[in-house]
Chain A
């Protein structure tokens, strides 16, 4: 039970740290977002809030800054911090986007499922391929398949996911016209539980998922191969063979399970990196998920949206890792028992 409590506590600390970080960047950095927003509002800019040219009075500017970022300028630091965190955590008040003029939370909440959809599918697909390939290579160690695949994997591993994405976009979408160039679904489809919409989602999601697979793929197969080979040399496996256990049982329960364990940390980092990679990926495929809005916000200097996207990314990653963590106990029963001696 302590294991679960610790994991959940850690998740909360992480989210707390990330949000505090955004506050620090907002408020403490000289020449940071607050200052540049102030300048923008002073000169009468600010998207839909433009109320004629000329300067605004400072109170009006402060009010606008507070409205957009949730941070009240000119109050003591600790009070500003308290107010910011309270609004953020209790009321999900992420401020208002400067460019879109909508609450940041609404924009990102609508985009979130799409990002999760392509990322998680890409990662799972990549990991499945990785594990199977690594296991087969270990099984045929030294054979022709092993040698050829090692080279193939090294070559594949040297391809960054965005390069894969660009090549796929150039060949499969622009060259052959099999897939759309961007977007999330057919523009004439009605969102909901109907076949045409689903087909569109799948059609548009295929390329992002495939390039997400490249992220999950990585050098995992070689690590899996090395782990399997190491496990294959251990004594208990010989005992299992001598006991006359079936090959399938040995390969899955004895080798597979033990060899997958070290990959598990890789899986958690993979979760984190695949959401990160969304920023570049969604930009390439013009896929309006959270990553696309992050990029958009950066280009438009829309700090509330940028900070909001960062917090969203953190929350999604933390939630996924928490789920992975809590299920880890099923894969490795030793994880939830902590009796390690301290030196």
Chain B
């Protein structure tokens, strides 16, 4: 816009700020369609294109389904229902065999699922929330904040988690699964905070962060708008990891009999099989009692790992950019992941 007249130039400046796009504004319907396309179809396509993500998500959905719906169709296992120590695959009434009291193993597994899901969920949410806040603030702010926050998490890291949890649980046995998850989170947040901090340390030196600071945005906005999207894949991976850690520890503690033994729980089943059924030295008698909960635990943790990887793919901006274009253009997806 080269003009010699200064007045004319000023008028142009005003015009520049009043330019409106030529196209018509989107209708509500179009915007809704775009939103669905962006937030539902694209992730769905990304997940479908990768077997690991599909398996992980299917696994978790299956466990939630078992814990909420299937549980209503399977009667609560009671002592004396069936013959004692029945081997697996003998009868449709107790497909996985029975324990020392004649309770069906499968029914026990199913009825233990909701508690396990609650423990994993509450533990992951608590650990992740604390970890994200402390890690990002410490990494971004640096200086005094960093020293204090990392000092605290270092102290918590150095105090060995399981013995601490055992000491707490010995004095105050938690009965609610929410509380179990909450207590187990004590051990899991500092690692997350530290790892996030070291991620933020590299991000904070990026030029767009510096630009944000130069524009006078406050730390909270920069952290939320600029730093967090970069961290999202990492946080999701780690939060599924935290859920897995909490599940591992809780089942382990139930297994050695540290957490209260009442109620149905995979760890309690393992403990009983180990001690009452002596499953390790006598696998022919009660091996199925020990290995069935172990197998389910394995599936759950594998599902969580694969879920975290699937979420990584959804959040990964570069991968997403490719899909976004294709999903809205209704093209075939051909990505080699």
Q: Quick check: B283 and A170 within 8 Å, CB to CB?
A: yes
Known: A10-B151, A279-B256, A306-B170. A160 touches B301 (CB 8 A): yes
A217 contacts chain B at the CB level, 8 A cutoff: no
Does B285 belong to the interface (CB within 8 Å)? no
Given contacts A32-B171, A174-B280, A277-B162, contact A154 B252 (CB under 8 A): no
**With A265-B194, A340-B143 known to touch, is A310 a contact of B163 (CB < 8 Å)?**
yes
Q: A160-B252, A162-B255, A166-B274 are in contact. Are A343 and B213 (CB under 8 A)?
A: yes
Q: Does B32 contact A (CB under 8 A)?
A: no
B143 partner, pick from A265, A317, A342, beta carbons under 8 A: A342
Question: Would A166 and B167 count as touching, CB distance under 8 A?
Answer: no
7 contacts between A and B (CB under 8 A): A10-B158, A154-B305, A276-B187, A306-B170, A321-B157, A343-B141, A343-B142
- Tally of B interface residues using CB under 8 Å: 61
Query: CA separation between A255 and B112, bound complex, in Å?
Result: 46
A67 within 8 A of B: no
Contact flag A310-B248 (CB < 8 Å), given A17-B159, A18-B159, A283-B256: no
1/0 per residue, CB under 8 A from B, across A289-307: the answer is 0000011001101010011
Q: Among residues 154 to 191 in chain A, which have CB atoms less than 8 Å away from a CB atom of chain B?
A: 154-155, 157-163, 166-167, 169-170, 174-175, 181
| Interface residue? A22 (CB, 8 A) | yes
- Residues of A close to B255: CB separation below 8 A: 162, 280
Quick check: B256 and A158 within 8 Å, CB to CB?
A: no
A45 at the interface (CB under 8 A from B): no
Contact A14/B154 with A154-B305, A160-B251, A174-B280 known, Cβ cut-off 8 Å: yes
Give the contact stretch, choosing among B7-15, B18-26, B123-131, B290-298. Answer: B290-298
**1/0 per position for B56-88, CB-CB distance to A under 8 A?**
000000000000000000000000000000000
B140, B159, B287 pick with most chain A CB within 10 angstroms: B159
**Contact of A313 with B by CB under 8 A:** yes
Given contacts A279-B166, A298-B258, whether A14 and B142 have CB atoms under 8 Å apart is no
Cβ of B144 < 8 Å from any Cβ of A? yes
A29 near B163 with CB under 8 A, answer no
Contact A158 B302 (CB under 8 A): yes
Residues of B within 8 A of A162 (CB): 252, 255
A309 and B162 contact, CB distance less than 8 A: no
Determine if B39 is an interface residue (Cβ-Cβ < 8 Å).
no
- Known A32-B171, A175-B283; further 19 A-B contacts with Cβ < 8 A: A21-B159, A158-B244, A158-B299, A163-B298, A166-B290, A181-B281, A266-B195, A268-B157, A269-B157, A273-B161, A273-B187, A279-B163, A313-B163, A314-B158, A314-B159, A317-B159, A318-B158, A341-B142, A341-B143
* Closest partner residue, chain B, to A160 (CB atom): B248
Q: Which residues of A contact B155 (CB under 8 A)?
A: 10, 13-14, 17
Given contacts A29-B171, A33-B171, A298-B170, contact A275 B160 (CB under 8 A): yes
A14-B154, A154-B305, A340-B143 known; A22 vs B162 contact (CB < 8 Å): no
Say whether B257 faces chain A, with CB atoms less than 8 Å apart.
yes
| Contact between chains at B257 and A299 (CB < 8 Å) | yes
Check: B241 CB closer than 8 A to any chain A CB.
yes
A306 with B297, Cβ < 8 A, contacts A162-B255, A314-B158 known: no
What residues of chain B lie closer than 8 Å to A17, measured between beta carbons? Answer: 155, 159
In the complex, residue of chain B having the shortest beta-carbon distance to the beta carbon of A269: B191
Q: Is A219 an interface residue (CB 8 A)?
A: yes
The answer to whether A11 has its CB under 8 Å from any CB of chain B is: yes
Does B219 sit at the interface, judged by CB under 8 A? Answer: yes
Given the known interface contacts A158-B305, A269-B191, the answer about A294 and B163 at a Cβ–Cβ threshold of 8 Å is yes
Find out whether the CB atom of A154 lies under 8 angstroms from the CB atom of B144.
Answer: no
B306 sits at the interface (CB 8 A): yes
Residues of A within 8 Å of B252, CB to CB, are 160, 162, 280
Digitize B234-259: 1 where CB-to-A-CB distance is under 8 Å, 0 elsewhere.
00000001001000100111011110
Is residue B176 within 8 Å, beta carbon to beta carbon, of the partner chain? no
Q: Is A47 an interface residue (CB 8 A)?
A: no
A54 to B167, CA, bound (A): 31
With an 8 A cutoff between CB atoms, is B172 at the interface?
yes
Chain A positions within 8 Å of B195 at CB level:
262, 265-266
Residue in contact with A154 in the complex, picked from B145, B166, B302, CB distance below 8 Å: B302
- Asked whether any CB of chain A lies closer than 8 Å to the CB of B328, the reply is no
B274 lies within 8 A of A279 (CB): no
User: Is A206 positioned at the interface, with any CB of B under 8 Å from its CB?
Assistant: no
B306-321 CB contacts (< 8 Å) to partner A:
306
Q: Kindly list chain B residues whose C-beta atoms are within 8 Å of the C-beta of A303.
A: 170
A25 sits at the interface (CB 8 A): yes
Name the residue of chain A whose CB is nearest to the CB of B204. A343
CA distance A268 to B241 in the complex (A): 17
Complex Cα–Cα for A252 and B323 (A) = 36
**Contact bitstring B110-150, A, C-beta under 8 A = 1, else 0:** 00000000000000000000000000000011111110000
Also in contact, A157 and B305, with CB within 8 A (given A33-B171, A163-B297, A174-B280): yes
B93 contacts chain A at the CB level, 8 A cutoff: no
CB <8 Å contact, A279 and B162: yes
B36 at the interface (CB under 8 A from A): no
Name the distance in Å between B288's Cβ and chain A's nearest Cβ.
13
The answer on a CB contact under 8 Å between B172 and A29 is yes
Q: Say whether B333 faces chain A, with CB atoms less than 8 Å apart.
A: no
Closest chain-B Cβ to A331's Cβ sits at a distance in Å of 14
Nearest CB in chain B: distance from A22 CB, A: 7
A251 close to B (CB within 8 Å): no
| Chain B residues closer than 8 Å to A13, beta-carbon distance | 151, 155
Does B232 touch A at the CB level, under 8 Å?
Answer: no
A309 to B164 CA separation, bound complex (whole angstroms): 10
